[in-house]
């Protein structure tokens, strides 16, 4: 065993997929050897079932936009501003973009980028 496996590193999902592909290939090869038409039918049915399963699979909530914290960030510049919204920062997990609009400048948006603390 390598040192990386000794440290408890999880095995790759791709490696698991390769093992499943080899294990599924043996029965398909046996059916194909018996009848090429049946082999083609088995491959099409398996593909259709996998496609249907992927299309009807529920998405996890882990990629959902995190809810904004209790309060929004504040600074001297944004006192009296109207809160516009909060958006996750693309590419930076846990970072949020808070936007607000000053009352005296209608075409201006004040922006804060804040790292949220996860519990």
Same domain for 52 and 69: no
* Percentage of residues in the chain having pLDDT higher than 90: 20
* Percentage of residues in the chain having pLDDT higher than 70: 71
* Mean pLDDT to the nearest integer, 71-82: 69
Residue environment code for 94-110, b if the CB has 16+ CB neighbours within 10 A, otherwise e: eebebbbbeeeeeeeeb
Q: Give the pLDDT of residue 41.
A: 94
Whether the pLDDT of residue 7 is over 60: the answer is no
Same domain for 11 and 53: yes
Instruction: Give me the phi and psi of 86, to 5 degrees please.
Output: -135, 135
Domain span including residue 23: 3-57
Q: How many domains does the chain have?
A: 2
Same domain for 101 and 69: yes
How many residues can be counted in the chain?
Answer: 119
Same domain for 102 and 67: yes
What's this model's pTM, rounded to 2 decimal places?
A: 0.39
Q: pLDDT by residue (tens digit) across 35-63?
A: 999 999 999 999 999 899 988 887 665 55
Closest to 81 measured CA to CA, from 103, 108, 114: 103
Same domain for 75 and 50: no
Same domain for 111 and 69: yes
Same domain for 46 and 14: yes
């Amino acid at each position: 065993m390598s040192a990386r496996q000794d440290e408890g590193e999880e095995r790759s999902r791709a490696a698991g997929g390769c093992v499943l592909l080899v294990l599924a290939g043996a029965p398909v090869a046996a059916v194909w050897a018996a009848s090429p038409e049946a082999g083609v039918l088995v491959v099409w049915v398996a593909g259709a079932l996998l496609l249907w399963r992927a299309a009807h699979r529920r998405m996890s909530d882990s990629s959902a936009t995190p809810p904004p914290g209790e309060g929004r960030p504040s600074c001297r510049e944004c006192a009296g501003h109207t809160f516009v919204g909060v958006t996750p920062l693309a590419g930076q997990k846990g970072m949020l973009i808070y936007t607000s609009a000053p009352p005296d400048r209608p075409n201006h948006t004040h922006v804060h980028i804040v790292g949220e603390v996860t519990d």
